[in-house]
Structure 1
Amino acid sequence: MATKAPNLECRMYEAKLPEVDTPVMIRVNNIGDVCTYVSLLEYNNIEGMILLSDLSRRRVRSVGSLIKVGRIEPAMVLRVNPEKGYIDLSKRRLSEGDIQACEERYSKSKLVHSIMQHVAQTANVDLEDLYIHVGWPLYRKYSHAFEAFKLIVNDPDSILNSLTRELKEIGPGGKEVTKVVPAISEEVKDVLVKDIRRRMTPQPLNIRAEIEMKCFQFDGVLHIKEAMRKAEAAGTKECPVRIKLVAPPLYVLHAQTLDKEQGISILNKAVAACTTEIEHHKGKLTVKEAPRAVSEREDKRLAEHMAKLYRENTEVSGDEESEEDDTGLGDVDVESRSSQMTE
């Protein structure tokens, strides 16, 4: 006999309908002559309505310039009729603060909902039942389940073991007995913890800066190498700094960290240490690109560029070494030396 598929549809929050004067995230479904019909994404796509007069504070000349079918954006709840299920919304009542708060909350709620749906599907449990016993209690206790999920990454037992549910059974003598049991089984708990860790474990950020460094003094190459060591010494155990030559005189400083601000601060210190050392030997350092967080795509592009330069350099034969030697001569007067040798 085929088992019944679990219900995977459910609203994100415990309340079945939003409260008045609350910003919600909507998707535009249809634009009519006098109103626009939308779905409330956080409330299992129940329908709402926006009058055209509530689209903007300014005079509406073209509805298409203000709203489009399929667009996802915030709107403010004006009226809610629980009996008929009518929800009236407005875009013109939104402030910038409302928009930002709504987008931030929806981003967190969407991730939580995605995890809950995946767990319900994988463990073959009802999504609303999972919300009733896990999701919504975490919303109540931590203001948002997202905050609880962040704690579960490192300490799942302290968060999930506190959640319980009441189970009614027929005890001895035919009497109904209420037992308090864990909110979810160990199997469901394992699936939930694994998915939370997979989706919410912080990924290290790549922080990068680009500099040009020159030194035409005697042993200029050695001075540059010492400046590079000073830059790397500015790193920490949690955020080590590496500096690589791209192509003279261009160098790249690189760091990985979970804290963006900390990474940028440490790279700034590394650049300052490098500058102090090279200027001590009458060299020059120019910051071509200040420390910033970069994407994996940008890192990959830089690695490809460095590999290309390396291949080009290896194909060149002849006097690379002589060019480096010339750099190391620094301020020595070559013509004066030649005349003295002739005499």
Structure 2
Amino acid sequence: MSKISPPNSGCRMYEARFPEVDIPVMIQVKEILDVATHVALLEYNNIEGMIMLSDLSRRRIRSVGGLLKVGRIEPAIVLRVDADKGYIDLSKKQLTEEDKQVCEERYAKSKLVHSIMRHVSETMKIDLEDLYIHVGWPLYRKYGHAFEAFKCIVNDPDSVLKPLTRELRTIGADGRQVIKVVPAISEEVKEALVRKIRRQMTPKPVNLCAYIEMTCFEYDGVFHIKEAMRKAEAVSTKECPVKMKLVAAPLYVIITLTLAKEQGIKILNQAAAACMNSIEGHRGKLIIKESPRAVSEQGDKLLTEQKAYSELQKAEVSRDEDSGGEEDTGMGLVDLESISSFGIED
């Protein structure tokens, strides 16, 4: 691909210069006036559009500020397009919930594709629009969305990028024009593109955990609890290995690290069920305190702090017993009702 100095780093996301009528697009509010609002169409290189006051809402408008704020990013639907004059009229009033969902999902994918393309353009010093012309937009046409093509590139880049070509026109020795078909991008640009796609789009494993309270006051109750823990871990699969650990008796955590979140949640539920069946077979008791969820780094930190606090409580109880205090006959040293979700997020 030819290099341009300085390269153009701004370009629309899609091949069409203007959006089609009745299509939802993502906008950013730029200026709010008495009769209209000026917006930028983010997917079309920030070209200007306008929303009339009468197209803001179906309800009676008491304050435009309650509906729009400068800088806010949200969907709107295209009413009219004058390609010659560059006028685009939009509406929020005619936007449905389905339109919003479609627009937000498409924009999220397009934004990721655009960030990858722009990064390659800037690092390789090549024109962004040229990169879209020979790579991005052909992939949009073939795959419906370049995002789907990029997902395939993660595992098999040649199957996606090798078929892409461009015509190179030169003048031969006889003075005639010679048309030669060459790869759409150079090997250097291809390597940079694949590297960035893999860095951005390779699925990352997610930590999942479930918290349970388990007790067994039968003879050899500790061994029955350990057996129940082994039953939970036996539910493991290659994709979702399960581990069960003590937090602070009677609180336990069942964890897995997996690429498939939904499957991981299912496996943790199965592990909890296996654990419950085992312990209840020995007249024990199991209560699920937190259903399986993704756990954040903050959650891990809070969990560690809670465990340390529990150990401190145990040490204080031990000192009380040594000094002749009343014996604490309960198994749980943690106020389970006051325990939050340890920073767990959906």
So what's the TM-score if we normalise by structure 2? 0.89
Aligned match of 2:209: 208
CA deviation digits over 1:226-283, x for unaligned, max 9? 0000000011111001111111100011111111110011001000000000000000
SS where residue 263 of structure 2 aligns?
Answer: helix
Aligned match of 2:194: 193
Distance 2:250 2:330 in 1: 15
User: What is the percentage of aligned positions where both structures have the same residue?
Assistant: 68
The aligned amino acid for 2:139 is: L
Deviation at 1:292?
A: 1.7
Comparing 255-264 and 22-31, the one that deviates more: 255-264
Distance 2:58 2:186 in 1: 52
CA deviation digits over 1:109-129, x for unaligned, max 9? 001000100000001100000
Aligned match of 1:181: 182
Comparing 128-137 and 201-210, the one that deviates more: 201-210
Aligned match of 1:168: 169
Distance 2:304 2:38 in 1: 50
Deviation at 1:298?
A: 1.8
Runs of 4+ more than 6 Å apart: 323-327
Structure of larger gyration radius? 1
Shift of the 86–324 alpha-carbon distance from structure 1 to 2, 3 Å rule, reads: same
CA deviation digits over 1:47-73, x for unaligned, max 9? 000000000011111111011111000
Shift of the 94–178 alpha-carbon distance from structure 1 to 2, 3 Å rule, reads: same
Shift of the 230–11 alpha-carbon distance from structure 1 to 2, 3 Å rule, reads: same
The aligned amino acid for 2:145 is: H
SS where residue 152 of structure 1 aligns?
Answer: helix
The aligned amino acid for 1:133 is: H
1:260-279 to 2 correspondences below 5 Å: 260-279=261-280
Distance 2:308 2:156 in 1: 43
The aligned amino acid for 2:105 is: E
1:118-129 to 2 correspondences below 5 Å: 118-129=119-130
The aligned amino acid for 2:146 is: A
Aligned match of 1:59: 60
Deviation at 1:314?
A: 6.5
CA deviation digits over 1:298-334, x for unaligned, max 9? 23322343344446657875779xx99998xxxxxxx
Aligned match of 1:12: 13
The aligned amino acid for 1:27 is: Q
Structure 2: which 5+ residue stretches go unaligned? 332-346
Structure 1: which 5+ residue stretches go unaligned? 328-343
Q: CA RMSD in A?
A: 2.0
1:300-319 to 2 correspondences below 5 Å: 300-310=301-311, 313=314
Aligned match of 1:221: 222
Aligned match of 2:154: 153
CA deviation digits over 1:201-231, x for unaligned, max 9? 1111111110000000000000000000000
Tell me the matched-pair count. 323
Comparing 134-143 and 300-309, the one that deviates more: 300-309
The aligned amino acid for 2:27 is: I
Shift of the 326–22 alpha-carbon distance from structure 1 to 2, 3 Å rule, reads: closer
Aligned match of 1:243: 244
Going by fraction, where is helix more abundant, 1 or 2? 1
CA deviation digits over 1:98-147, x for unaligned, max 9? 00000000000001000100000001100000000000000001100001
Distance 2:301 2:152 in 1: 32
Distance 1:308 1:153 in 2: 44
